[in-house]
Amino acid sequence: MARCRVCQQETLEKFLSLGPTPLANRFLKREQLEESEPSFPLDVYFCHTCGLVQLVDVVPAEVLFHDYPYLTGVSSPMRTHFAALAEDVAQEYHVGPGSLVVDIGSNDGTLLSGFRRFGPKTLGVEPAANVAAMANAAGIQTINQFFGPALAEEIARTRGPAQVVLATNVFAHVHDLDRFLQAVSVMLVAEGVLVIEVPYLVDMLNNTEFDTIYHEHLSYFAVRPMVALFSRFGMGIIDLTRQRVHGGSIRVAVQKSRAPQTPVVAQILNEEAERGLDSMRIYRDFAERVRMIGQELVDLLRSLRARGMRTVGYGAPAKGNTLLNFCKVGPDLLEYLVDATPAKQGRFSPGMHVPVVPDTRFQADRPDYALLLAWNYADEILRKEAAYRERGGKFITPFPRPAIL
């Protein structure tokens, strides 16, 4: 029996199985279409002891983050979001010349670039070679390695300890959380702060955003298991805010030295308990809605196709591949996916093999319906594609229920 990633107890219960699923960011070249594609179970568990929702089938990080297509800077809402995060953190924690800010999983350097005007030294840590090279080329100093204790010691020794360590959209990717926190601790000054941003379980449940489940995301965090985890390291949450990005996230500031529990943490722990996060019922209900949404989406796409409508997907996010594979939506139901990311264009979506094309094709082509696979950027995309809608084109959103906008 598998052990829980946070509390190490054998108290996991499965509540959802999305079936054997290929890797969500493994977009295929044409010549790879005939090759067999690796797929792995995508089963989700709840821990009865600490409350962590998690996967237990762990795909090695070296496989997931070797050659990585995702670029933060491609999506303008993320650029805006991270610029605001940098400003907030710089002001709140007095980042200035003489400080060191380290970003773990720094991707193309979008977040660190927001610290420039405050004058600290910055350092990115990014395991994907192609992405780290882009950041370095843009002048954001980035170490192309997986983060761990040895690298943390080296950073502390050669560049001095950090005042702030950032971990946005990476904490859920970490299998060995203890090792990760130990390494962060090695690198931080005594009064230093670790700022984590991670999709929030409550938002995922509220909107049934099940497509955010894929192999890269090993944990689906509520605050309760986080508090338990940090306290084992003598760390404490000093600030916590909910954020709109990625379908709903939480930003958590964690102080290395133990801090008295802030009222906002006590309040959110209460809310989580009231919401029923401690018992299986909420997860069983979620799984039931997942099946319903999947069925409704396929029915909708089939009926549009039967009426001779042309349907495509808007965005080729990793999460879209969970949705397409779970619903078995292939090129017969979506002609292509449009995406602005160069490394995805000209490739085929993992599993269902839907071709990915540049977004300029969408504007020229004007299909009848576009399924918003990047539904988390709906506002931005609807604004950007206003001309498409003015000419009668329609968007479909999958969540909270499949609907034509």
Binding interface with Zn ion (CB under 5 A): 4, 6-7, 47, 49-50, 52
CA 254, CA 90: separation in Å to the nearest integer?
15
Give me the residues paired with residue 206 across strands.
Answer: none
List all residues 6 or more positions away from 214 whose beta carbon is below 8 Å from its beta carbon: 21, 23, 24, 42, 318, 319, 321, 322
| Residue 333 binding target from Zn ion, ligand TYD, none, CB below 5 to 8 Å by type | none
| Residue 50 binding target from ligand TYD, Zn ion, none, CB below 5 to 8 Å by type | Zn ion
Nearer to ligand TYD, 70 or 221 (CB): 70
- Please, are residues 124 and 142 in contact by the beta-carbon 8 Å criterion? yes
Nearer to Zn ion, 132 or 218 (CB): 218
Nearer to ligand TYD, 102 or 374 (CB): 374
Nearer to ligand TYD, 50 or 293 (CB): 293
Give the nearest distance from C-beta 132 to Zn ion in angstroms: 33
Burial of 69 (0-12, 13-18, 19+ CB in 10 A): buried
Nearer to ligand TYD, 102 or 170 (CB): 170
Give the nearest distance from C-beta 179 to ligand TYD in angstroms: 24
Nearer to ligand TYD, 114 or 315 (CB): 315
| Residue 49 binding target from Zn ion, ligand TYD, none, CB below 5 to 8 Å by type | Zn ion
Show the tokens assigned to 117: 């005007």
The H or E element that residue 356 is part of is strand 356-357
| Residue 317 binding target from Zn ion, ligand TYD, none, CB below 5 to 8 Å by type | ligand TYD
Residue type, 379: D
| Residue 149 binding target from ligand TYD, Zn ion, none, CB below 5 to 8 Å by type | none
Give the nearest distance from C-beta 234 to Zn ion in angstroms: 19
Nearer to Zn ion, 7 or 188 (CB): 7
CA 102, CA 100: separation in Å to the nearest integer?
7
Residue 9 phi, psi (nearest 5): -85, 155
Chain contacts with ligand TYD (rule: CB under 6 A): 70, 74-75, 77, 315-319, 339-341, 344, 359, 374, 376-377, 380-381, 384
Identify the three-state secondary structure at position 275: helix
* DSSP character at residue 348: B
Give the nearest distance from C-beta 79 to ligand TYD in angstroms: 10
Nearer to ligand TYD, 235 or 374 (CB): 374
Give the nearest distance from C-beta 209 to Zn ion in angstroms: 22
Place of tokens 């954001």: 140
| Residue 302 binding target from Zn ion, ligand TYD, none, CB below 5 to 8 Å by type | none
Place of tokens 């292939």: 330
| Residue 339 binding target from Zn ion, ligand TYD, none, CB below 5 to 8 Å by type | ligand TYD
Give the nearest distance from C-beta 5 to Zn ion in angstroms: 7
- Please, are residues 346 and 371 in contact by the beta-carbon 8 Å criterion? no
Give the nearest distance from C-beta 78 to ligand TYD in angstroms: 6
Nearer to ligand TYD, 209 or 272 (CB): 209
- Please, are residues 359 and 322 in contact by the beta-carbon 8 Å criterion? no
Give me the residues paired with residue 40 across strands.
Answer: 21
List all residues 6 or more positions away from 2 whose beta carbon is below 8 Å from its beta carbon: 10, 12, 45, 56
| Residue 334 binding target from ligand TYD, Zn ion, none, CB below 5 to 8 Å by type | none
DSSP string computed for 326-337:
HHT--TTT-S-E
| Residue 7 binding target from ligand TYD, Zn ion, none, CB below 5 to 8 Å by type | Zn ion
Give the nearest distance from C-beta 130 to ligand TYD in angstroms: 15
Give the nearest distance from C-beta 320 to ligand TYD in angstroms: 7
CA 208, CA 214: separation in Å to the nearest integer?
14
CA 55, CA 326: separation in Å to the nearest integer?
16
